[in-house]
Amino acid sequence: MTESVRVYHNARCSKSRSACQLLEEKGVQLDVVEYLKNPPSRDELADVLAKLGLPAEAIVRKGEDIYKSDYKGRSLSNDEWLDALAAHPILIERPIVVRGDRAVVGRPPEKVLELFA
């Protein structure tokens, strides 16, 4: 398999590392985006969300300090959540794996295999 898939990855996250390992074992070529070092643009996030079929709030990590201090208990529109994710990439759930016009959040890591079923 020579097709490349994009992985929005945080190397400090065990789930993200496990998802990458699963894909590599399947022979998948990975285009790894360390999104904390190279944050996706707002437009890129909107594109990924469209492929996920999810609203922006669905990929917000609600355990993060910035969420608790700035967003907890607030009712934001999808556009406002997109702005928050673009401004604070630590809030983006990981890993997100994109293959063609489809994407999944790799939680649990085995979920990434759905892109190849």
65-112 pLDDT, tens digit each: 999 999 999 999 999 999 999 999 999 999 999 999 999 999 999 999
Q: Which ranges constitute the DSSP H helices of 4-110?
A: 14-25, 42-52, 65-70, 78-87
For residue 53, is it left (φ>0), alpha (ψ between -120 and 50) or beta?
left
List strand residue ranges (DSSP E) for 21-81, in order.
Answer: 29-34
Q: What is the mean pLDDT of the chain?
A: 95
Catalytic residues: 13
The alpha carbon of residue 37 and the mean position of all alpha carbons in its chain are separated, in whole angstroms, by 14
Q: What percent of the chain has pLDDT over 90?
A: 95
Q: Which pLDDT belongs to residue 91?
A: 98
Whether the full predicted model's pTM is greater than 0.85, yes or no, is: yes
CATH number of 4-116: 3.40.30.10
